[in-house]
Chains A and B, each alone.
Chain A
Amino acid sequence: MNAFTIDRRDGIAKVVFDLPDQPVNKISKAVRDELDGILPDLARDPEVRAVVLLSGKPDNFIAGADIDEFVALESAEEALNLVRTGQALVNQFAELGKPVVAGIHGPCLGGGLETALACTYRVATDHPKTSLGLPEVQLGILPAAGGCQRLPRLIGARAALGIILAGKTVPAKRAKRMGLVDEVVHPAVLEQVALQAAGRLAEGWRPRRGRGGFAGLLLDRNPLGRRLVFSKASEQLRKQTGGHYPAPVAALDAVWHGLSRGLKAGLQREAEHFAELAVGDVSRKLVQIFFATTALKKDTGVDEEGPTPEPRKVVNLGIVGAGFMGAGIGGTAVTRAKVDVRFRDTAWEGIGNGLEATRKILKSGLKRRRISKYDFRRLDSLISGGVDWSGFGRADLVIEAVFEDLEIKHQVFSDLETQVREDCILASNTSTIPIAKIAEAVKHRERVIGMHFFSPVEKMPLLEVIVTKETAPWVTVTALTFGRKMGKTAIVTRDCPGFWVNRILSPYLNEAGRLVHEGVPIEEIDGVMKRFGFPVGPITLLDEVGLDVAQKASSVMHRAYGDRMSPIEGLKRMIDGGRQGRKNGRGFYRYEKGKRQGVDQAVYQIFQVEPSPVPETHVEQRLVLAMLNEAARALDECVIRSPRDGDIGAIFGIGFPPFRGGPLRHLDDMGVVRAVDTLEILAGAYGDRFSPAPNLKRMAEHGERFYSAA
């Protein structure tokens, strides 16, 4: 393999990295071996006074280390060997004895950034595709080719921790501001600038770098301040990870160790941590999720035989209902997919509020520099609305987001059909009503589909695309592709009450309500599930979703699935008493100025119990298994197309703990046999709703798993 071409001219060696037959550059064994041959040669050559490292790919510098090598690791020992070779390679750049300039255009991530950090000087392009970062912790590992050492030395501990612990990437301009790169230039002159810098460096010139000013002196460059920074970071990590994610904790330790004991000791510590994390369970799970989401992005969502239709273009989006959901969808669509968004509502007031809420989302895109000012102005003019159907004749896709009432939805869909083109997709954002029922209002039912977004749309990453028996494949493919353009992770589900996410959520929330009825303290219910790894507990979630919304969904589920989904009795009394959850500041918890306070003790009176001081032993099992059992049942009924889709849906839609891999993966891990046994015990103690799903029993008998054991 020849990934590198070297051009020696005027005392400067230009090394161009272009991995053959690959869209991006990544560092693999072959690449390391080739560099092992090249670098000593460059070090020895007296004609070479400086080196410039560039990429031959159009829009990519180095995407990182080859993930396949890391996935194939079987033991900590193997992992240690891998990381040592990586460190050795990067050290060669650092210890070449000659200045090395990295000319960075496109993503420069993980091992790529660690290589660039080992260079003497970094020039990056001001192109939007250029970004620098260390995303390792997102895969449950840490930067271990010197990233935890060289980054804090270059930009200070505070800024470095900001990047390493969150696995963040930063655009070139911000990288320049924090001192991560020395110059930011137009792509057309990158090579020229890098070569000139190499020439100057060869003459003995050294760049002057800021050292973070007074704050830098106070916090980064003196041991006392540093201790403060680290104890703060450590405390914050404990809060954020709940002790479930060891990678950022290890990274913090590696940075600390290196800064207090020196580079060599730091590298040693990095390597040790890596070896342990790389074969650990959490990293394995996170990598599985990474692969699953990557595979989902390529999934057409269609299982029919024959050639899969191409997704059609969606340029004009119509949204019926400019309420909170409609505006969320519109704002996300215009910001991410850059489509024309036309609202229709019954009153101008609704339109006005909707346009305002939509613009707010677009503005936050500008604030976060996701879009430029020019883009902002262009996109802003794409947002409009009216109280008639004008503009809907242009729509390629219409998403209905009106009140959850079948009659209203029927009216909307039958009106729509007279206004839109024949090839316009009609989607509903309903969360409870079967799509096929809604489709009854129109003649061409093959173009009706469900697009279930979660609230708030601009933040929640999941989209459920719901297909009916009549939905045409091109409609599914187009809706799915558009959802991805909106930045969503999209799964295809079958048309049943609750679809996937709400279906498995409902028994879980109901069980939480039952626990309240039994007098289990609300803090305890939430606390148990937070310790399990959910971002918020079920009672908090009820408050967030809105009690009225939850109640409505729950009664739909009860009607559809019978007694195992019977709703929380106390909930109706809560709503009758004017409690709607966070949105009106009164729920299970008290709220002041939008901030959550403690549990509202009056709630126990509404539930007619005294909070019991006796601990309930089965809280976690009851809550978790209520969800897992329903998940198994729904999979059996083909609500989702694969366990992969189900797990991703639960992680991105409900916040199911990623380190547990999703409900079905979790069942595999706990063992289906054990799950069935526990469910039977719970069924005996608490009622038939815990009777194991038929497929779980079947699987237990035959010793099957949801995922193959590999």
Chain B
Amino acid sequence: MVGGCRSPFARAGTDFKDVSPVDLARRTVVELVHRMNLDGNVVDEMFFGQVVPSPLIPNLAREVSLLSQFPRSIPAAAVNRACASANSAIAHGHDQILSGNAHVVIAGGAESLSDVPILHSRRMRDTLLALSKARGMGQRLKLIARIRPRDFIPLAPAIAEPSTGETMGQSAEKMAKENGISREAQDQIALRSHRLAAQGTEDGRLTAEIVPIFVKPGQPPVTSDNGIRKDTGLEQMAQLKPVFDRRYGTVTAANSSPLTDGASAVLLMSEEAARSLGYEPLAYIRSYAVAAIDPGEQLLMGPAFAVPRAMDRAGITFREFGLVEMHEAFASQVLSNIQALESKKWAEERLGRSEPVGQVDRDTLNVMGGSIAIGHPFGATGGRITLTLANEMKRRDVQFGLISVCAQGGMGFAMVLERS
């Protein structure tokens, strides 16, 4: 990985309300090209994550690879592994390079939750399809007469498991209860996320990776994430009502990641390509792993399974991680996973390991905050986390860094970065 950048992350319906995810991704990649002084002709392939694509543009990645900065001959694929989509895009790039199929890959992701596709009801869809095939006025009128007011009720995509029907928030709520995670502990995680993200924005570490995006003519560009609250406090958070279990719940809007718009992109190269093109490697991908569990149990525990796998593949111990970036979908998910990673009992029962996976040092965890504060554009988050980790590893001169991301379907993704 030789470099990367991302758009600012904006809460859905705010700054990027009128910017399509394709445009967000394209502008981010144009900036990547300029920041890296990249010759578009050297790029072999592109992968971009997107979780809720527009039905009109199913393959966002191709729209990016059709940017005029590149020849029109770069194949590109959209990747969907839910919240770990951009991570998977990067992993695909890594695999393509490792297998010798490619030398230079651009990988990343984009998401707009300001503009999600909303479907007609099944009955309405049937009627419309029939109408498009209908012959003659009579048939058409007959079909139109079939339409009832309730047919107009639209179907919005829910952030829910197709298999269990359980929403993400309900899963997070379940994890909080089953793992005994208090409201206060969750709010502490959220507070920490906001404080550290605000600090990273102020000292320019977070903004260094951000590409300013112009939205409206005559207005200044958007240059930073707009979900970070510098002055929030525990008392303020404590006043919020739980969303998913109004009476006995602990998961609130404050200790969950918000719906967000944004894009991210990183530039991957084989070592030889980097050297011959004159690029200094920022970080190496040492290993990665994906794990999946039964969505019927604790849905977001995937990382606890993926992390030891990636660690084993890298051949290192948890103690060697100088920095850890853990995606914060919900504070309860972060704390549940940490609890599992640190538990000897859990390691014995679930992994068959005699020792816990490792102690998560809070001083090296999400040192510039996480998705709760910065935001979580599903398809783009993986790129942001990878980029933030690599940049901070360089600043702190850390050898190993860990990425962990939970994803829908009971999946978890982990990646180990290394600096030589």
Contact = CB atoms under 8 A, between A and B. Distances in A.
Contacts of A394: 33-34, 37-39
Nearest to A334: B68
Contacts of A391: 33-35, 37
Given A352-B214, A394-B39, A381 B69 contact: yes
Contacts of B31: 384, 386, 390
Interface string B61-93: 000001111000000000000000000000000
A351 B211 CA distance: 13
Nearest to B223: A348
A330 to B, nearest CB: 14
Nearest to B211: A386
B315 interface: no
B10 to A, nearest CB: 17
A312 interface: no
Interface in B213-246: 214, 217-221, 223
Contacts of B52: none
Interface residues of B, number: 22
Interface in B1-44: 26-27, 30-31, 33-35, 37-39
Residue among B26, B27, B31, B217 with most chain A CB within 10 A: B217
B26 A381 contact: yes
A216 interface: no
A356 interface: yes
A393 B214 contact: no
Give chain B's interface secondary structure class: loop
Given A352-B218, A356-B217, A381-B26, A342 B67 contact: no
A349 interface: yes
B58 to A, nearest CB: 18
B245 to A, nearest CB: 45
Residue among B34, B37, B69 with most chain A CB within 10 A: B34
Contact of A340 (B66, B68, B212, B221): B68
Given A340-B68, A381-B69, A390 B220 contact: no
Interface in A617-636: none
B110 to A, nearest CB: 15
A96 interface: no
Contacts of B67: 378, 381
Interface in A369-391: 378-379, 381-382, 384, 386, 390-391
A355 interface: yes
A364 to B, nearest CB: 15
B47 to A, nearest CB: 19
B207 to A, nearest CB: 13
B220 A381 contact: no
Residue among A349, A356, A381 with most chain B CB within 10 A: A381
A340 B38 CA distance: 13
B37 A393 contact: yes
Interface residues of A, number: 20
Given A356-B217, A394-B39, A386 B34 contact: yes
Contacts of A348: 212, 220-221, 223
Nearest to A379: B68
Contacts of B217: 352, 356
Nearest to B32: A390
B214 A355 contact: yes
A481 to B, nearest CB: 21
Contacts of A349: 220
Interface string A337-353: 00010100000110111
B68 A384 contact: no
Contact of A378 (B30, B68, B214): B68
Nearest to A380: B68
B221 A352 contact: yes
Nearest to A391: B34
Interface in A381-427: 381-382, 384, 386, 390-394
A386 B31 CA distance: 9
A98 B212 CA distance: 67
A384 B38 CA distance: 14
A390 B68 contact: no
Nearest to B72: A378
Given A349-B220, A352-B214, A352-B220, A382 B33 contact: no
A340 B69 contact: yes
Nearest to A360: B217
A610 B31 CA distance: 60
Contacts of A381: 26, 30, 67-69
A391 B217 CA distance: 23
Residue among B39, B68, B217 with most chain A CB within 10 A: B68
A384 B37 contact: no
Residue among B37, B67, B212 with most chain A CB within 10 A: B37
Nearest to A388: B35
A342 B37 CA distance: 11
Contacts of B66: 378
B64 to A, nearest CB: 10
Interface in A10-67: none
A356 B218 CA distance: 8
A394 B33 CA distance: 9
Residue among B33, B39, B219, B223 with most chain A CB within 10 A: B33
A393 B34 CA distance: 8
Nearest to B37: A393
Contacts of A384: 27, 30-31, 34
B353 to A, nearest CB: 47
A349 B221 CA distance: 8
A391 B214 CA distance: 18
A139 B327 CA distance: 71
A382 B34 contact: no
A30 to B, nearest CB: 45
Contacts of B33: 391, 394
Contacts of A356: 217-218
A392 B38 CA distance: 10
Interface string B183-220: 00000000000000000000000000000101001111
Contacts of B30: 381, 384
Contacts of B68: 340, 378-379, 381-382
B69 A382 contact: yes
A378 to B, nearest CB: 5
A618 B38 CA distance: 62
Nearest to A356: B217
Contacts of B27: 384
Contacts of A351: 221
A349 B223 CA distance: 12
B35 A390 contact: yes
Contacts of A390: 31, 34-35, 37
A710 B67 CA distance: 54
Interface string A578-604: 000000000000000000000000000
A352 B34 contact: no
Contacts of A378: 66-68
Contacts of A342: 34
Contacts of B212: 348, 386
A390 B35 CA distance: 5
Contacts of A382: 68-69
Interface string B39-57: 1000000000000000000
Interface string B362-389: 0000000000000000000000000000
A363 B212 CA distance: 23
A355 B30 CA distance: 14
25 contacts: A340-B68, A342-B34, A352-B214, A352-B221, A353-B218, A355-B214, A356-B218, A378-B66, A378-B67, A378-B68, A381-B30, A381-B67, A381-B68, A381-B69, A384-B27, A384-B30, A386-B34, A390-B34, A390-B35, A390-B37, A391-B35, A391-B37, A392-B37, A393-B37, A394-B38
* 3 shortest interchain CB distances as A-B pairs: A391-B34, A393-B37, A378-B68
Given A386-B212, A390-B35, 13 more contacts: A340-B68, A348-B220, A348-B221, A351-B221, A352-B219, A378-B67, A381-B67, A381-B68, A382-B68, A384-B30, A391-B35, A393-B37, A394-B39
